[in-house]
Amino acid sequence: MTTNAEAVSALKSTEPKKSFFAVLNDRFEQYAIVFGFLVFTVLINLQVVNRYMLSFVEIANITTWTEEAARYFFIYISYIGAALAIKQRSNISIDAVTRLLPKRAAKSLELATILLSFGLFYILLKGGLENCYQQFIRGQVTAALFIPTYIPYFAVPFGIALMTFRTIQVMITDCKEMDLKQILIAVGIFFALLIPAFFLSGSKAAVILFIYFALLIITGMPVAFALGAATLITTIVTDAIPLAFFSQAAFTGIDNFPIMAIPFFVAAGIIMGSGGLLRRLLNLANELVGFFPGGLALVTIVTCMFFAAISGSGPATVAAVGTMMIPAMIKQGYHPAFAAACVAAAGSIGVIIPPSNPFVIYGVVGGQSIGKLFMAGIVPGLMIGISLCLIAFIISKKHGWRGDRDRIVLKNVLKAAWDAKLALMVPVIILGGIYGGFMTPTEASAVSVAYGLIIGLWVYKDIKPKDVYNCLVESGVTQSIIIILIVMATIFGRLITIERVAEAVAAFVLSISTNKIIVLMLINVFLLFVGTIMECLAAIIILTPILLPMVMKLGVDPVHFGVIMVVNLAIGFITPPVGVNLFVASGISKLRIEEIARSIIPLLLIMIIILLLVTYIPEISLWLPSLM
């Protein structure tokens, strides 16, 4: 008689084994991302450890070579991760229009944008190879590692070639699901998208640039590639910038140590959200506020505030906290839409309370201190969290949603705080390291990743090596999407600078009014609108070079404006059609976006009120940075 185990074993033995190349095709990017992530995490942590613990050991120029090596690994992994994002169809795009189209038409439109992206890939690949060749014949070496410079520069052509390969695979898969008519329509749309360029050849480069960017965004093309393709078409029509700049910016635009904080903060949030740290934070929040009416709603919001100080991401906060709290709230009798709305709104705090990926991006693009921006986000983030708690309390009391006990028990609070002490240490390590002058934001973020791995693997032992692998792959894809966005925005921004778009916008706005109050109100309205249709990081990258010079002319502190911008765009996380937090909460709760959107209105209104206070009372943001 055959046992189940024997049957399963026999079944497995009959399955065809994948060849080495098939496995490589399936998992090359994943293996590379995990290896690269671990290497540059170790390198940056080694840099910090050497500075404070191994200073008596002679390791020549360790800070210089570890930083340089980490940067080069980071660049390679960013492009490799971008290829995996293409394979997984994970790139950021605006589908508000394409979602309204019939499925067959949407497929044709997607194929047309894929065909358009090949032109961008060709220019980047050709230019990248030419750069490597120039580095090779000149015999140049890097400053610290003394390796030939064509080795790090090869990241661009290698990564673009891999992205092209994965795009071809996606295209072939799509074409197999389409009939000949759909494919011909896609080819027709592709040529139709190029036609406006012939009629705009006599126009200013800025006009062509923004017309094409808007057109490609509407078609659902990923935002990063829409930026690059719009710039490429404009360049071909007007010769505004040399085509060689594309491949140069593809390397120099991200060969930047502060930008490396992004993958580390992303990884820290994902690793700690998958382990026991989050559960302990939930227990602490429950002991602190669970006895109030609407106790679970308050616990959800407070936990989001705690987790925001770890993840630096709004959607990551919603995913981590919502997975646990939305079902628990529904089970206790809360309205499902209200439960989802609480998590979605509170998740927005993830980009305001430090560490914050949007603040890192704003700091890099705007040339501002990331440490000061982190400090400036603390009070606004706390204000939003407390205000959301107040609204949730009022709504819960009205509906009779009670807490799980009658009063707070100090003994239990202290016990929960002690149990969560290792989780609470994360913001202390990050912020204390930065503001104490011990670490840069990038170093602090790398230390937080190492800390999360140590706690999860060897202290709590609730993360397995397989979990680490999955977390690092997810982190690699997420950060690569952001990094490629930065690359394309660097190219896009170059054209904006040459065409003096920022000056033109400033002149137009200031012709309406030179009153700072009115101008800031107009900017708020504009940013709130942008937040409804564009992802937060993309908006910051595109708009900061345009808006920041203008507000600085009016005497607005650039750190204060960074907070205004991020709070505005944080509200965009919960406003359709692009509200990412709404989509994440919808996926967890299995509710339609419209249902959650109705319940989120009171929470949205209180966030707008806090935005106005932050806008017109600069001290709210600038008080803590002034103490640095």
Q: Count other Cβ atoms within 10 Å, centred on residue 192.
A: 11
Q: Which residue has the tokens 């989509």?
A: 583
Residue 11 is predicted with a pLDDT of 43
Residue 69 is predicted with a pLDDT of 93
Tell me the average pLDDT of the chain. 89
Q: Where are the beta strands (DSSP E) in 144-191?
A: none
Residue 55 is predicted with a pLDDT of 53
Q: Which of 259, 277, 327 is nearest to 484 (CA)?
A: 259
Residue 3: pLDDT over 60: no
Q: At what angle do helices 223-238 and 536-553 cross, to 10 degrees?
A: 60
Q: Where are the alpha helices (DSSP H) in 334-420?
A: 336-347, 357-366, 370-399, 410-419
Residue 9: pLDDT over 80: no
The larger pLDDT score, comparing residue 136 to residue 314, is at 136
**Range among 29-38, 58-67, 277-286, 403-412 rated most confident:** 29-38
Give the pLDDT mean for 577-603: 87
Instruction: Provide the percentage of residues in the chain whose pLDDT is more than 90.
Output: 58
Tell me if residue 78 falls in helix, strand or coil: helix
**DSSP 8-state code for residue 98:** G
The answer to whether the beta carbons of residues 246 and 293 sit under 8 Å apart is no
Q: Which of 508, 350, 505, 374 is nearest to 434 (CA)?
A: 374
Residue 485 is predicted with a pLDDT of 87
Who contacts 519 (Cβ-Cβ below 8 Å, separation ≥6)?
Answer: 509, 510, 512, 513, 550, 551, 554
Sign of CA dihedral 75, 122, 32, 151: negative
Residue 10 is predicted with a pLDDT of 47
Residue 4: pLDDT over 50: no
- Over the stretch 500-553, which tens digit does the pLDDT of each residue have? 888 888 888 888 888 999 999 999 999 998 888 777 888 898 899 999 999 999
- Over the stretch 337-378, which tens digit does the pLDDT of each residue have? 999 999 999 999 989 999 898 999 999 999 999 999 999 999
Q: Which residue has the tokens 């839409």?
A: 337
Residue 273: pLDDT over 90: no
- Over the stretch 417-470, which tens digit does the pLDDT of each residue have? 999 998 888 888 888 888 888 898 999 999 999 999 999 899 888 888 899 999
Residue 537 is predicted with a pLDDT of 84
- Over the stretch 121-169, which tens digit does the pLDDT of each residue have? 999 999 999 999 999 999 999 988 899 999 999 999 999 999 999 999 9
Residue 404 is predicted with a pLDDT of 72
Give the pLDDT mean for 481-486: 88
Class of residue 22 by CB neighbours under 10 A (exposed 0-12, middle 13-18, buried 19+) = exposed
- Over the stretch 202-236, which tens digit does the pLDDT of each residue have? 788 889 999 999 999 889 899 889 999 999 999 99
Residue 315 is predicted with a pLDDT of 81
Q: Which of 118, 106, 120, 113 is nearest to 217 (CA)?
A: 113
Q: Which of 354, 373, 370, 362 is nearest to 428 (CA)?
A: 354
The larger pLDDT score, comparing residue 607 to residue 503, is at 607
- Over the stretch 241-271, which tens digit does the pLDDT of each residue have? 999 999 999 999 899 889 999 899 889 888 8
Q: Which of 139, 181, 131 is nearest to 156 (CA)?
A: 131
Residue 54 is predicted with a pLDDT of 57
Give the least confident one: 103-112, 424-433, 469-478: 424-433
